[in-house]
Chain A
């Protein structure tokens, strides 16, 4: 028996007409975002140019911002959340055992090269990423093993029906089908360009590729036949300008409409300028200290709690995140459904920390190492300064930590080998599913030395049981309950010191309308319009 999950007829009908005015569609749907004016050139400046424009071969956000405006996925994230809505697939169903997913594809959609979009294109997109002997295997396909995890086969049932068979029930599968790396590519174009497809991208998305001047800019033009209605602007240009100050000056002069990555000291400058708007919101990331639970003294939960009580998170956020980050108490950020806001954070209390250490048999405190990564990450803007600040805070709680660092690649290797006592690290969410934080970072399955992502080597049977059950059921409310329970246990066991959820920040000119920086920090720009 099959369970119909989602076929809102009103929504689909609204997808088919140009969304000049839409009535009745949910506010968060892309189709609710109408163009107030059509035309013009929109220029977005980001800190780096794209590396590659083959969505199956990228992993950096700068490339993703480009491909996401040129390609579509089977399903897509809503305009302001990580909830899923139809895209190239109009509807889908899953068998009750959770193993077979069937997608009904939208008819009449064409790739930018004029060839038809159909089930064969979906199968081709999958096959070229998963089989490295495939004649059109992209260079690396770095995300294939993540997005297609548990997928056993993909078959075209008929030209407009495609079937994914899984090896185990896996609820996050649907979310993965909205991720950039599963963007459907034109098989004709891939075969035509071969290894050079990365600079001749052809999708079905709202913008068509025009030109790429590498390390400089990418030009796209509106796809006037876009199935969800043409984008508001005629041309989209995405420039790479590495220096944050120069990028801001360029926007102030009117050379850019939007920019990413603002220097925190410049927030005030933007707020004071009535031609500019500063956008801040919680980011989809967590910076944390992993406490290696397999090594003394961190195998003792009292010591781990003592570390938690020694870190003053608000002070760190004031000093290093310009006050716009959020102190973390759970492993995942509050933008994700299933977040447990009832979890009580460990209070900052160095006195109590010393007591706990004494109870654990360390009346004189402990001497250990605090590892830090020598590379700025979104969740760790100034690694060395943050590490030094934490070192000083820990000292007050009786934890004398020597700072240790390694080059980024080596650092990750050593962490997955469990060579660290305490290590500062973090995670940027891929798809907005709780599984992507909790299972990946804290399940015992991922605590295998050498391959670990669970850098605390935290092995809780109770948590494992909850996380696996949550993977196997489809109902989101039921899953959310399981994840909330897991967060409670994790907070009690304290394998981490959750530090911060760094904000997502962008800025734009006042005339830019309808812009919302998505929680995934992908800059979808097809519904943005420019006021005269």
Chain B
């Protein structure tokens, strides 16, 4: 008798499948990128800041743009699995639901990270950004903040595909819960860009947020997947 594959092996396989699908279709990445680009351009019409002002508002604009774009990608995460009843197959299989949740979250984390890598230079150019504080901290903030958005986003996307009017449901339940994380990522980014305050408290808060909601998500995903 062969031993059952480990949780990590199943997660990896599911993730590889998602990445391959995305690589071939580029559905999520393309729509997310174009959407984010539109938001950035529209924002820059809405505000016309000087270099000093833009340091203060860029954190907010950047994360709001990423939040909106993330929702676009998240809405497609589980949609794929609804076609051909893949989700039902998951339910019947003995694979642990946590593996599926982890794979989806990691996949979204990668997509949003790619988006950020492409968006940040654009922001720097459009808003004439030059950071006053320690720039390496922005990387920590970006990693923690992206995880905070996608871990809850992936979970709530799984909730919202079960409802009528799926697409609109996700932001309605994701945004209120994400308010503290959004506050933390925006203020951390602004603190670093302006160099006025240390960002340590916000980074710690993001880490706590990530830890708490990753745990809760892993525990509660099983009932959500099997909800009839």
Q: Do A and B come from one complex?
A: no
Residues of B within 8 A of A (CB): none
Residues of A within 8 A of B (CB): none
